[in-house]
Amino acid sequence: MGKYKAHYIWLDGQQPTAKMRGKTRILNIGEEPPVWGFDGSSTEQAVGEASDCVLKPVFTCPDPVRGGENKLVLCEVFNTDMTPHSSNTRAALRAVAEKTAGEDAWFGIEQEYTFFEGARPLGWPENGFPAPQGGYYCGVGADEVYGREIVEDHMDACMEAGLNICGVNAEVMPAQWEFQIGPIGALAVSDELWVARWLLYRIAEEYGVSATLHPKPVLGDWNGAGAHTNFSTQSMRDGYDPIIAACEALSTRPDEHIANYGAKIELRLTGDHETCSYKEFKYGVSDRGASIRIPWQVALDKKGYIEDRRPNANCDPYLVTRMILETVCGV
Ligand code: ADP
Ligand code: MN
Ligand code: MN
Ligand code: MN
């Protein structure tokens, strides 16, 4: 009988930012990836005396790295009594997504990230700094962008995996890039974003390069890395009053959102570098210095979506999308 490799992927128990883990199981072709387990004492998810944690597959796609019949298998982590593990942030999103299903919410997440080679951003000089920011965003040429071959490989891999990747671009800081997933539902965008992140790390590995989601990889006059989260409900896609109502709802509890939008967010949301300070909340049309931006096309069409510019690159999309659903849809 033919066999295939199923690479199980899960989020560990590291605080404040989970890392991705994975291990491979050989299965018979035609066999669905079954529930499996791992040693939680090595991932900060259990103690040595009771180390078993349970992996429950929730999202499976073709594995573009190994090709053929091979698969990637994203999992939720459970305790052995089959209650969700405390590190399992997807479980709470499942409940909220179900309650708000009638709103038909869509999310599109812009994932920014930075390539590093050793201790320096990829392509940066050994001593000193590259020329100041200004010419790098969406740039072209060996003196402007670093790591494009990795970006292209990663984009192809996401497409082969069947993920809803909708674009990529070079960012404002050299060696910084972005890809976007969406627009799709909260669980789907989050699952696909985690798999796309895994593919990014895995493919960059082939080049001896690491990708980091650190929100402020270089201190000083260099842009941070975010995960702008674009959001709409059916009623927002139909009219403008619900767009404003969503912005107003988000203005009622900014602190709860900031607390769930990724570690070290205060390093990035300074009020400079196209951000609004984490201490403030404002929304506005076309305003890249606002917490929430209403795109100009949306203001013109009087319908569409809003962009929450606050989430960090290192955010957990299960938390971010749940916060937005809870606040805007009043769960
Ligand atoms: P920016 O101008 O902020 O760089 P991008 O083009 O990078 O914008 O990203 C726009 C994002 O908006 C994409 O992720 C896309 O999926 C998302 N998007 C588009 N329409 C909708 C919608 N109706 N609801 C939610 N997200 C949307
Ligand atoms: Mn973008
Ligand atoms: Mn960007
Ligand atoms: Mn954006």
Question: How confident is the model at residue 50, as a pLDDT?
Answer: 87
Separation between Cα atoms, residue 218 and residue 120, nearest integer Å:
9
Q: Tens of pLDDT along 212-265?
A: 999 999 999 999 999 999 999 999 999 999 999 999 999 999 999 999 999 999
Question: How confident is the model at residue 321, as a pLDDT?
Answer: 98
For the cut 80, the answer to whether the pLDDT of residue 1 exceeds it is no
Where in the chain are the domains? 3-87, 97-329
Separation between Cα atoms, residue 207 and residue 150, nearest integer Å:
8
**Fold classification of 97-329 (topology level):** Creatine Kinase; Chain A, domain 2 (3.30.590)
Pocket test for ligand 1, best of 107, 179, 180, 190 (most atoms within 8 A of CB): 180
Question: How confident is the model at residue 20, as a pLDDT?
Answer: 98
Task: Read off the pLDDT band of 278 (50, 70, 90).
Answer: very high
For the cut 90, the answer to whether the pLDDT of residue 331 exceeds it is no
Residue nearest to atom 19 of ligand 1 (CA): 183
Question: How confident is the model at residue 266, as a pLDDT?
Answer: 98
Please report which ligand is nearest the Cα atom of 243.
1
Whether the pTM exceeds 0.75: the reply is: yes
**What b-and-e string marks burial along 91-110, b requiring 16 or more CB atoms within 10 Å of the CB?**
bebbebbeebeebebbbbbb
Mean pLDDT of the chain: 97
For the cut 80, the answer to whether the pLDDT of residue 166 exceeds it is yes
Q: Tens of pLDDT along 113-153?
A: 999 999 999 999 999 999 999 999 999 999 999 999 999 99
Please report which ligand is nearest the Cα atom of 230.
1
- For residue 169, how far is its CA from the centre of ligand 4 (angstroms)? 11
Ligand 1 pocket, residues with Cβ under 6 angstroms: 106-108, 110, 166-167, 180, 182-183, 228, 230-232, 237, 304-305, 307
**What percent of the chain is modeled with pLDDT above 90?**
98
Q: Tens of pLDDT along 173-203?
A: 999 999 999 999 999 999 999 999 999 999 9
- Tokens, residue 274: 């196209």
Average pLDDT for 7-26: 98
Q: Name residue 293's amino acid.
A: R
- Tokens, residue 53: 């944690």
Give the architecture-level CATH label for domain 3-87: Roll (3.10)
